[in-house]
Structure 1
Amino acid sequence: MASLVIMIVMNFLLQISFFIVVSSSNKYTEHLGGNATFSGIIIGIPTAFAGLALIPLTQYDRGMYKMPLHVSCCFSILGQIAYALAFPVNFLYLILIGRCLTGVAFSMFMYCKRYCTDPQIVGIRRRTTLASWLVVCQGLGLSLGPFLGGLLYKIGFSNSIFNGYTSPGWIMAGIYAGFWVLVTKYFEDVPQPPTKTKLSLPIAKGFETKPYSLAPATYPPSPIDESLGTQLSLITLPQWGVIVCMCWFSMVCFFILGSWEANLPVFGAATTNLRWSPFDAGNFIALGGITCFPFLLVNLLAVRRTQDRKLLAFGTMIGLAGLLIFLSILHMDKVNYGSLFACWWTVALGFNIATTVTLSLLSKQLPPKWNGRTSIAIQCSNFTGRVTGAIWGGSGVLVGMQNFVGLEIAMVGIGAVLFTILWRELKTKTG
């Protein structure tokens, strides 16, 4: 239980680290000579480096979690310190370097998901429930991160070291240092998987080899010795369809969430009747997240009795409704605090709910040995959505807000086609 709590808390801290810079990164970037698009890159670039970091980590983790935890804590501290030092050094690209280092730490997102679907410790009927806990942390990070970032910005600039731009980095570095101590003391890893050994099979009567025979001994094929190509050939065409569908929805959900998080501070500051400061933008984003939180708790209870495919359909429809409403108020030029909040709340709630089931659904349909591969596939889809979504969000005002939301609606439409075709294949056990 202590190890499970550590993994969930780690996911929560990583979510805060991702979101705490959202409200003030645009102003921080402008202060050091950057623009809104560069601000979007600052927000999204960590996930690209998280995906790259998974390449060596998955080669050496041996199916375990303690080593990635230590790596994540180490790079979180380094990245937060670099982000904070960019202001006194007055070097724009040090923000980028800091976020890239933090991105290596974000590789832990995949391990948190994999832990909650690991067949060694989690049964089929608990996987979506534990995935829902990760989404609850995602909602908390979405609320608390921007709020803290905006609040720290409002506190001010008493000196060049600890101020509204740098304080998120210093505070998060201190939190990770304390958490690292707890990880070292209390985390207990899963059992190490057995090494591959050649099976010694009894010889049936009548099949004994002659003494001193030079003929090579033959063994029946063992699942342990199956090559990747053999395993791939066992995956049916409908299962490949489900894999593609879940990866697409995973990418789309995080693309849309990431683009809105990056776009709201920029759009709010550029809109005449809003004129948001980073503090205002942080409060707005946080308000959307905190008002979604009770519904995410309800979702935590609902997943125990609801099929994954129905949760995915429900969340996607809610999120799509928010996008369509936003497109209509842009067309009618009726953007104000209330109408924008209704859209943001609907988008945040719907697509957060939809992210609950992408990995858990796959883990229930594919063999247990595929859990590591499906975790990587879903997480790389998440990372792709995050980085491209953040850049798209930072450029939203530049490309036109109707084009901004139109692309997102089209992406959901593609997912709806996949979902409709594969509806029967998406059925799994509840829980």
Structure 2
Amino acid sequence: MSIRESRRHGHHADSAAGGSESGTHPRQMNGDRPPMSSSPSLVDNPSTQVAESVRSTPQDDLEATEEFKMPPRSSLIIVITANILLQMSFFVIVSSSSEYAQHLGGTPTFSGVVIGIPTLFSGLALIPMLRYDGGGYNLPLHVCCGASIVGHVLYACAYRANFLYLILIGRMVSGLAFTFWMYCKRYCSDARIVGIRRRTTLASFLVMGQGFGMSLGPFLGGVLYKIGFKNRVFNGFTSPGWLMAGVWAIFWLCVTLWYEDVPKEQAPLPPPAVQENSAEKTSEKDAANEVTVTRAQQDQESLSSSFFAMSWAQWGVVACMCWFAMTCFFILGAWESNLPVFGADSSDLNWSPFAAGNFIALGGIAAFPFLLLNMYMAGRAQDRHILAFGSFLGLAALLTFLALLRSDKLTYPGVFMCWWAVALGFNLASTAPVSLLSKQLPPSWNGRTSLIIQYSYYTGRVTGAIWGGSGVKIGMMNYVGLEIAFVGIGALLFMGLWRDLKAKTG
């Protein structure tokens, strides 16, 4: 035996001896470290157990990506801009519509009908539009641009024609354009292009545009009325129509160039989660031990499009969201149409259309920074919390305004604070209905929920505008009292369904 072989033989012998000793003294084999066979099991270390059991997989990464996905930027900007222009088109006539109607032989109540009538015709046009839209947004968007231009032109031509009902006809045609309000909401909650954790954020974009449009519209109408333009075609009454027709023509060109519609065929998506907890079962095996970790979870198959059935609690949530959608726009529309009439009738205020437009715009501008803050909070606060905060802020403003009316101490700052809180509160509350329902119901229900919520908005807008125009005639105490009653009914629904209103944030 050579020297090298003898050394190798001695090394193996020592290893064998060490191995026999390790059976009695396990720490001597590798210093102070325990042998691998005696390492703590997953059962002895619960934190390691949970960490190993929830280790991310490619499927988890895919689901996370789906939850945060966003539509193409250019198309999203087009949709949000369309929402802003629709808000401006709806409210740009508010400042001067009462005097325009009276100049043509109408009444303040008729002016309220002129303000609110587009939503009625929009609701009638929605069903045929849904039949031919092909599940996309291209056709409704082009109809929106064309109808807006024609409606504003007809509204402007009523002065030259000296025909009162032409302003009403122009607003009816504009109602075809306002069908796109529903498509804006559906676009921002469409599961094909928007993840579940981005829907409230995009809804807050719409609300921000809503606040911007309802501020800029009356201000622009008041400024154009003040300038006057002593002309039978282009003057203080007709200039809002001509200006908005030109803006819509430019926007239509932008739509043609940059809008990209949603693909008609998309890969099937997993149904949305209603709660934060998820269902999962994981198994891990180690040499002699098998550890099975199970986390409590809600079965998602009930949310599939084929087998989904609404529970009574979910029907209650739908009814609650419809009520709040109607209430928010009833009160916002009522205040928008009432402030010019009430301000002109009140001896303490004595507003002109220009002053009324500035007042409405100032309240909206003051609320705008908080609507921007809501975009930040949308990713962190639940929809039900945003809905609760906005509703109770608006209710506090209504109660304060009622107290001012009873005490007969109306001042500009006092009325302004009430209008600011109403505008902020109910704009915030209007963020929740569509986004919350889109998180609790399957993707295939998005069209239905968007439709019923939009009809609720329409109902609130048309009845609110008429109610606001009649506010002075029926009595301001009665005017505010009905709005408080609407919010009170919503609060009862809200508190009864609090647990069922929980949904994912974002």
Q: TM-score, normalised by structure 2?
A: 0.78
The equivalent of 1:79 in structure 2 is 151
Give the one of 353, 367, 392 matched to 1:317: 392
Residue 238 of structure 1: how far off its partner (Å): 0.6
Residue 194 of structure 1: how far off its partner (Å): 7.1
Q: 1:62–1:193: 8 Å Cα contact kept in structure 2?
A: no
Are 1:243 and 2:318 counterparts?
yes
Within 5 A, what are the aligned runs for 1:295-306?
Answer: 295-306=370-381
The equivalent of 2:483 in structure 1 is 408
Within 5 A, what are the aligned runs for 1:18-417?
Answer: 18-193=90-265, 234-417=309-492
Return the alpha-carbon distance in structure 1 between the equivalents of residues 187 and 462 of structure 2: 24
- Which one has more relative contact order, counting CA pairs under 8 Å at least 6 apart? 1
Return the alpha-carbon distance in structure 2 between the equivalents of residues 10 and 371 of structure 1: 20
Q: Identical aligned pairs, as a percentage?
A: 65
The code of the aligned residue for 1:340 comes to V
The code of the aligned residue for 1:177 comes to A
Deviation by residue 1:296-320 (Cα, 9 ceiling, x = unmatched) = 0011101110010000000001000
CA RMSD in angstroms, aligned pairs only: 1.3
The equivalent of 2:49 in structure 1 is none
The equivalent of 2:55 in structure 1 is none
Q: 1:131–1:360: 8 Å Cα contact kept in structure 2?
A: yes
SS at match of 2:310: coil
Q: 1:63–1:193: 8 Å Cα contact kept in structure 2?
A: no
Return the alpha-carbon distance in structure 2 between the equivalents of residues 336 and 93 of structure 1: 36
Residue 193 of structure 1: how far off its partner (Å): 3.7
Return the alpha-carbon distance in structure 2 between the equivalents of residues 157 and 96 of structure 1: 23
Q: 2:203–2:431: 8 Å Cα contact kept in structure 1?
A: yes
Q: 2:151–2:174: 8 Å Cα contact kept in structure 1?
A: yes
Return the alpha-carbon distance in structure 2 between the equivalents of residues 384 and 181 of structure 1: 32
The equivalent of 1:214 in structure 2 is none
The equivalent of 2:504 in structure 1 is 429
SS at match of 1:124: coil
Return the alpha-carbon distance in structure 1 between the equivalents of residues 330 and 265 of structure 2: 35
Point out the structure with max Rg over C-alpha.
2
The code of the aligned residue for 1:388 comes to T
Residue 254 of structure 1: how far off its partner (Å): 0.2
Q: 2:192–2:266: 8 Å Cα contact kept in structure 1?
A: no
Q: 1:83–1:169: 8 Å Cα contact kept in structure 2?
A: yes
The equivalent of 1:198 in structure 2 is none
Deviation by residue 1:249-271 (Cα, 9 ceiling, x = unmatched) = 00000000000000000000000
Deviation by residue 1:350-379 (Cα, 9 ceiling, x = unmatched) = 000000111000000001100000000111
- Tell me, which stretches of 5 or more residues in structure 2 are unaligned? 1-72, 268-303
Return the alpha-carbon distance in structure 2 between the equivalents of residues 193 and 423 of structure 1: 37
Q: TM-score, normalised by structure 1?
A: 0.91
Q: 1:12–1:138: 8 Å Cα contact kept in structure 2?
A: yes
- Tell me, which stretches of 5 or more residues in structure 1 are unaligned? 196-222
Number of residue-to-residue matches in the alignment: 399
